[in-house]
Structure 1
Amino acid sequence: MTSKAIDGLVVMSEDLELVYDGVFDNKVPNIWHKVAYPSLKPMGSWINNLVERLGFMGKWIEENAPPSFWISGFFFTQSFLTGIRQNYARKHNLPIDTLQFTFEALDKEENTEKSPEDGCYVFGLYFDGAKWDYQSKTITESTPKILYSEIPYIWLKPTQEKILWDERKDVYETPVYKTSRRAGTLSTTGHSTNFVMSMYLPISEQ
């Protein structure tokens, strides 16, 4: 439609003009942002990311659930996490509101080609200002001049055990956001538009 408006075949509406300006400036038009997932990417990277998301979902539909999940590719991540807890609750006949997640970072050589017995493996997350030490299996200081580093595959394991994370000194509360802006608003579902959850990962004693 935008190309037809540019060629003068249809009237250039305000919305079409916004799309045209966005494409010209390599920015995602606001009318797309309103119905899409949060993203800070420029237009080109945003399109590539959208294609990757569609590919991930399409493969899931055609081949059933994958053994590990690209958590960054979800539109409504909180709903996915609720689904994982629901599956566990039904399997073990437990009330879902009594469940919480534990978090286990996997070693590089661990097999993620087969789904775990309970919970799920997720990937696609990054540390901001930190990195993962595979030898000590802890969060450590980031490498100089490297702001972002990939987080290992995480095993999200539902449990009914009451874990008082705030009293633990051996873990760090790692907030998970959809974008690096680290800010959001409450949506009509009662969830944040950006904050997803807090993970609790081991830290070194130093």
Structure 2
Amino acid sequence: MQKAIKGLVVMSAELEDVFHSMMVGKVPSMWAAKSYPSLKPLGSYVSDLIARIQFFKEWIFSGIPTVFWISGFYFTQSFLTGVTQNYARRYKIPIDHLGFEFTVMNSENSMSKRPDTGAYVRGLFMEGARWSREDKVIAESHSKILYDTMPIIWLKPGDESNFTEAQTYVCPVYKTSARRGTLSTTGHSTNYVLSIDLPINVTQNHWINRGVALLCQLDD
């Protein structure tokens, strides 16, 4: 880009798009084509990218984290598959029989040790409602607060035939607030991640009408 501005190389259409995008604080389309989904402006996008690199750097040099930053994965489904594969190998259960149970923990950011099975994850935001720390259920949003940061969630793999039914809202998790994506070559959505069962004390339709969902990242 600097060479193109100085006239040392040809200013192609792609470089011109990068230049104009940077001028208005937008992620260049050339970058977005190779990037994870993001609706953040350029400055926040770069900060988020650095945070992701730091997360994996600490994982490499300090060992497996106690709590995984689920928002930091490029292909989140591979992480979820890895969690179920570890459980399947440990207990000799076919992976096709496995699913997740979910427990919202009291801690917001850290845990003293890793769980015996499954994984702790953080970094999710609830849109359309909030998580009541007192009642441990989904509750109405506070006035003028659009998003609520979720506490740590325990993803517990297990045989789906042994799961007990409870009054829950099947809350979809998306990478961005766009809530839409396309099917990749792996058969997974580029935006939808999974659905998390969260306890409720009203009907599920109430929260469906509210459009409640969990997001891996915000737009700012």
State the TM bucket, normalised to the shorter chain: over 0.9
Q: How many residues align?
A: 203
Corresponding residue SS for 1:162: helix
2:22 paired residue number: 23
Give the whole-Å Cα distance in 2 for the aligned partners of 1:202 and 1:86. Answer: 26
**1:1-206 aligned within 5 A:** 2-108=1-107, 112-162=111-161, 168=165, 170-205=167-202
Map Cα deviations across residues 114-146 of structure 1 (whole Å, 9 max, x no partner).
Answer: 100000000000000111111111111111111
CA gap of 1:61–1:110, structure 2 versus 1, over 3 A, is closer
Indicate how the Cα distance of structure 1 residues 9 and 101 shifts in structure 2: closer, same or farther if over 3 A, else same: same
In the TM superposition, what whole-angstrom CA distance separates every residue of 1:30-58 from its partner, at most 9, and x where no partner exists?
11111110000000100000000000011
Q: TM-score if structure 2 supplies the norm length?
A: 0.88
Alignment check: 8 A CA contact 1:106 1:153 kept: yes
Tell me how large the CA RMSD over aligned residues is: 1.8
Kept in 1, the 8 Å contact 2:126–2:150? The answer is: yes
Q: Please, which runs of 5 or more residues in structure 2 have no aligned partner? A: 204-220
Gaps of 5+ in 1: none
Q: CA deviation at 1:151?
A: 0.9
Give 1:203's aligned amino acid.
I
Contact 1:68 1:113 in 2 (8 A): no
SS in 1 for 2:106: coil
Residue identity over aligned pairs, in percent, reads 52
Residue 162 of structure 1: how far off its partner (Å):
2.4
Within 2, Cα distance between the matches of 1:147 and 1:88?
A: 36
